[in-house]
Structure 1
């Protein structure tokens, strides 16, 4: 699948114009991962947002016993890594390819360039990231509540 089609299919970019979508496709890098390949480790400094194009990735975090716990399995058109872009903090989980996976990567620098060219479009993207984070927090709270 071509980069533009993947970006256009992502809910993060649903309000963008065709010109803005084209620019993001130009900025995005393609990453091919083999099964088990680590995309980033818990504790790495966050600097990129990833879109799943093909395959699946697993998000895991070490428990208090030091063993990894799967938090989510993501498939197309889901995305991950956005937290590192927002707060420039260290990754709170490890993400690895569960099977062969193809990803698109947008770095913080890519998004700064996009913001400088398309401020309104960038604002839409940030709002959609915030909506996604709020939804993920609600889901996590619901899971925690059901475990009690």
Structure 2
């Protein structure tokens, strides 16, 4: 698996130059998860963004009684965990591998290093994170409205 091609295919990193994409690929770590294995738990402190290389992950939310309710299933080249990079808050959901999955992980520290060497590219990434969050909020609002 070539990290560079995965990063280049992610909509989060569109508009980055080849040098910027190469730098992100150098910073990213590959993490492998078996089916059912937890990537992060609701309540963990967020510090990483993940890009799906292959496989699927599911996002779950715990109900007041403790039962986990699936919210969505994501696959390549989608990304998740970006909120933890923005607000440095605790995770609001659990993510686990639905199938065996390989993920690229970029930590907040990685993105700070990227910002120092590629400030303009970092701005594009932040704008794309904001677009992603906005779209996900609109989708959640639409789902809520359809249940009323």
Give the alignment's Cα RMSD to 1 decimal: 0.6
Q: Give the C-alpha shift of residue 139 in structure 1.
A: 0.3
Distance 1:123 1:69 in 2: 34
Distance 2:71 2:82 in 1: 16
Structure 1 spans left out of the alignment, 5+ residues: none
Superposed CA deviations along residues 55-98 of structure 1, whole A, max 9, x for unmatched, are 00010010122211111100000000000000000000000001
Matched, 1:42 2:39: no
Matched, 1:98 2:112: no
User: Could you say what secondary structure the match of 1:142 adopts?
Assistant: helix
Number of equivalent positions: 148
Q: Give the C-alpha shift of residue 100 in structure 1.
A: 0.4
The equivalent of 1:127 in structure 2 is 127
Q: Normalising by the residue count of structure 2, what TM-score does the alignment of the two structures yield?
A: 0.99
Within-5 A mapping of 1:11-50? 11-50=11-50
Structure 2 spans left out of the alignment, 5+ residues: none
Distance 2:56 2:11 in 1: 18
Matched, 1:2 2:2: yes
- Structure 1: 4+ residue segments shifted above 2 A: none
